[in-house]
Amino acid sequence: MNRRHGATPRWIAAIVTAVGMLALLSGCVPSLEELEAVEYAPSPVGEWAVSTPQTQGLDPMLVARLYYNAARLDTIHSLLVIKNGVLVAEDYFHSGAIDRQDRIQSVTKSFTSALVGLAIDQGLLRGATEKFLDYYPEIADQVTDLRKTQITIEHLLQMRSGYPWEETSDALWAGLLSGFYVPLIEDFPLTAEPGTRFQYSNLSSNWLGIIVDRVSGMPLKQYAQQVLFEPLGIAPGEWGADAEGHNNGCGDLHLTARDMAKFGQLYLDDGMWNGQEIIPGWWVRRSLGTYSTDAWDDIGRFHDIGYGYQWWSAQAGDHHVNFAWGHGGQLIVLVKDLELVVVTTAEPFWLQHDNSSWKHEKRQLTLVSEFVASLPSE
């Protein structure tokens, strides 16, 4: 993700969005014949029930335009649309494939948040208001900034701990890449009072993952396998780990687009999957709340971007959306009022954080936000 600057005036954002979409379309406006020729019918193989947009109340021409535009992106791998719990549109691009497990980058954070909630529900964690240093006794007595003793698990979930975004300095970024995260609790300075301000922090998610690892007595991936992946029928790929072997709570999980869609549908359905409660509904609702408003600049038709428990929120046209967002354009977008989930995967630009990677990432966000904003209310 790109560094956040001051909020852009809405009228300027609208112009930028229009210009961006013209670039996205390479100056081409598709004809009716071109849209009718777009193929996006989902494959009938696998667990997902399939249908058509029209049967589920979506305008097929709006869906066709979405896939027409997607095919003109250079780095997209997959695009799925789920309506009313059934798969209505699916296609893969470039090196994408139905069984490809992409590095989903910071979408992983939303999975880490789910695992924190499950650990609380199982009594392994006492609650989100617990002090996070209680779970790091080896470093707690070395902390010199006493404000850190007031940081809670909830502050980490909300990105309101006071720790800075690692991309704001070379030293912070080097610390993140070091793979040794517990000492950074003391070494990294606070740049805001705990609980007062949103500041994106990958380390916050890593520390949450290590806490779940410690209270469950097993690696984060193994715990996730038992309480989340197996109930959803997900066979995850690699989940990168730090120098001490802890799976990275901030990223590096590899999943297929269809598996990401399962997770999105789970949250859209208040934690239920196939009639079984996988995640407590109260945790889903708390996670999708908005605790920081104006957390990011407007992107495409996403505006009023806020943040919950490792989930983003925004407005797109008439619709409130929640979304998991990873570098490069990995997305799980939930539109509750339409019973809609949209998933994208793309080139993850691993360790590449520059204007080029951000340009491609922004095109993915613009693509999906334009589609959601184009949909009428039901």
Per-residue pLDDT of the chain (378 residues; tens, 9 = 90+): 433 333 334 443 443 344 444 444 444 689 999 999 999 999 999 999 999 999 999 999 999 999 999 999 999 999 999 999 999 999 999 999 999 999 999 999 999 999 999 999 999 999 999 999 999 999 999 999 999 999 999 999 999 999 999 999 999 999 999 999 999 999 999 999 999 999 999 999 999 999 999 999 999 999 999 999 999 999 999 999 999 999 999 999 999 999 999 999 999 999 999 999 999 999 999 999 999 998 999 999 999 999 999 999 999 999 999 999 999 999 999 999 999 999 999 999 999 999 999 999 999 999 999 999 999 998
Structure tokens at 269: 């359905």
Residue spans per domain, the chain: 12-100+256-374, 108-216
Q: Residue 27 has what DSSP assignment?
A: T
pLDDT of residue 28: 65
CA distance readout (Å), 63 to 70, 256, 279 = 11, 21, 31
Beta bridge partners of 91: 79
Measure the CA–CA gap between 257 and 264, rounded to whole angstroms: 10
Residues counted in the chain: 378
Beta bridge partners of 319: 316
Using alpha carbons, select from 53, 26, 27, 20 the residue that is nearest to residue 39. Answer: 53
* This prediction's pTM: 0.93
CATH of domain 12-100+256-374: 3.40.710
Measure the CA–CA gap between 209 and 189, rounded to whole angstroms: 21
Identify the three-state secondary structure at position 275.
coil
